[in-house]
Structure formats: structure tokens, C-alpha cells
Amino acid sequence: MNTIKSRILGLDVLRFIAFFKVFLLHLPMGENTPTFNFLKQGGGTGVAVFFVLSGFLISMLLIEQKKIKFDLIDARTFFLRRSLRIWPLYFLGVILAYLGIYLMDKIGWAGTTHEGMYKPNPIFSFLFLENYKMIWENASPQGAPLSVFWSLCIEEHFYIFWIFLFWKFPLNDLPKIWIGLWCFSIALRFFWPMLETDIILSGGELFSSLDYFVAGSLLAFYFKSIYNFLFEKSIVYIRYIFIISAFLYLLFQHVFYSELGVWGITISAVVYAYMILFFAQWVNFKSYSVGFIFARIGTLTYGLYVFHTPVILFLSKIWDKLNLTYSNISLFFFVLISFCISLVISFVSYKYFEMYFLRLRNKLK
């Protein structure tokens, strides 16, 4: 596979897995459900997978454009195309968050929901700067889904920075620049605590998270060579030992992540890059197979990411009003209902809202 002109359904499955990890994190803690409570931890790993995926896919597209246009890119058009995918749903989510804050105050639901959270500032929210506000406040903003938009802010900063790098530098120089940036990111995480400041950077903004994006970008640049080395020339069972190990890391890394120190992000970036390599084998699935269904849901993960926290918040309020618990069968139905509602809203959003802007995007060549 040399290009990504056709959609790789295996990567949509990986998107679904990454989202579901995030989804589990935001569910209420179960009562007398230790296994569930253990599995729902470490939802940030799902976001990390999305970051590596972004590095891979964005770089792959820009690399192809560089090759076709004699080491040049159309930076303006590329950014506009990205914006038409990201901005409409992002701004809708911001508006919903502020509307939710207002309504919860009006009906008296704010109370404990907003405890320990700061009141957001529209300037930071609408300018993709909410992650820096969160770092400064060392807290999350009121209003779902604003509390999870820190990652979308990092993604936006990544798009701008990477488009600049591809516009400014020759294609063959980029791997050296990326490796330098990777080293800078590790050094930043290492030396920042020595400043003895209360501001915690690690993972909350682009430059301390560059490992993820660089790992994905290097995979895109050397994809054919790495793929041939690890897959076409390797023993099959070794591949599956690697991917099983990667999945175990995804599920349980929160147990030992703190012990990895500044290298935690680096190790995670390499592991998730390998997962991308593995899932990229599956360009297609049989209709209505499990992989096909997961891939279809994977195409809706942007909407799912935006809508799942408001759904969970609203449903938890209903649950509390009905004096329902979060144990066993009751918890199962809470998970099922919240996921299904999120899925339906995301499907409607994709078909009747996002698709309009995607058609506009496709007109930009």
C-alpha cells in the first residue's frame, strides 16, 4: 500500500477502539464492579491513538502532494479542507457547551456537576486555546463537551504547524526535522519540572506531545519499507505476538504509566504506530462482518467524541432523578443507552450537518 486514496477500513476500526477507550473513561464509576472500574481507567490512551493516527494520515496526504507537485504543497487549500472537516462540529460543540452551562444553571443541575471546574472564556474556547486555559487553571472547564476539547485544540495546532513544515522545507529534510522535534519534546518534559512551576505541560499541549505526531509522520514517510520489513518478511506468529502485546499495553498502561516518566509518551507513540501498521493491512471487510460494523462506527468517531460527554452527563442526571444505581444490570443499561444515543446523534450529525461541509471540502482540489 503506497497511498491512502481509498479509505482504509482497518484504521476506522482502530478509531472505534480508541474512541471506546475514551467513552469508558467518561462513564460513571460502577458500584461493586471492580473489573469495569479497572477497564475504564486510562482513557487518555484513546486520545493518544488519535494523535498518532493524525500524524500518520496528515503526513501521508502531504507527502503525496509533495511528490506530485515537485516538492510543493497548496498550504491554503489543504488547511481549508481540514477546517471544513474540523471547524463546523467543533464550533457546534462549543455552542452546545455554553448553552448547556446556561440551561443547567437555570434548572438547578449545575451544583456538584460544576464543582472544581472553571467557568470557560469564549475567547479561549472559540480560538482553539481551551487546552492552554486548562493548563493555566489546572482544571477542566464547565460545560460538556468542552472538557474534552483540549485534544481537538492540540490537533488544530498540529495541523497548522505541520502544514508550515511541509510548506517551508524539502520533503527529504522532514524526517531529520521530525526527529529533532521528537528530541525537543522529550527534553521539554524532562526539564520543565525543574522550573518548579505549578503549570503542568506534559501531554496537555502540542510541543510536549510531539512524540505521537512524529511517530505517525515517520511511519507515513517510511511506510513501505517498515511494512515490508515487519510484515512481508516476518513470521506470522511474531506479528500477532506484537499486536497482542500492543493491545495489552493499550488496556493496562495506566497501571504502570507513571513509572515510565518522560518516556511514557515516547513508548506509547511507538506502540500505537505499530498498531496503525497492523490495522492498515485491512483495506476492506466483508459486508456486515464485525470488522465492517466497527469500521462503519469508526467513521462517526468525531461526532461520537463530541457528543458522548453531553449524553452521559444528561443521562446520569436522569439516572439520579430515578434513584437508579450504577451496579451490574443497571450499569449495563446505562452504558448501552448512552452509547446508542451518542451513536444515533453522531449519525444524524454526520448525515445532515457534517456531510454538507464535506461536500464543500471535496470541491476544493
Q: What is the pLDDT of residues 78-90, one digit of tens each?
A: 999 999 999 999 9
Q: What is the pTM of this model?
A: 0.94
Residue pLDDT, tens place only, 241-266: 888 899 899 888 888 888 888 999 99
Q: What is the pLDDT of residue 179?
A: 98
Please list the ranges in the chain whose pLDDT falls under 50: 1-5
- Per-residue H/E/C for the chain: CCCCCCCCHHHHHHHHHHHHHHHHHCCCCCCCCHHHHHHCCCCHHHHHHHHHHHHHHHHHHHHHHHHHCCCCCCHHHHHHHHHHHHHHHHHHHHHHHHHHHHHHHHHCCHHHHCCCCECCCHHHHHCCCHHHHHHHHCCCECCCCHHHCHHHHHHHHHHHHHHHHHHHCCHHHHHHHHHHHHHHHHHHHHHHHHHCCCCCCCCCCCCCCHHHHHHHHHHHHCHHHHHHHHHHCCCHHHHHHHHHHHHHHHHHHHHHHHHHHHHHHHHHHHHHHHHHHHHCCCCCCCCCCHHHHHHHHHCCHHHHHHHHHHHHHHHHHHHHHCCCCCCHHHHHHHHHHHHHHHHHHHHHHHHHHHHHHHHHHHCCC
Q: What is the pLDDT of residue 242?
A: 84
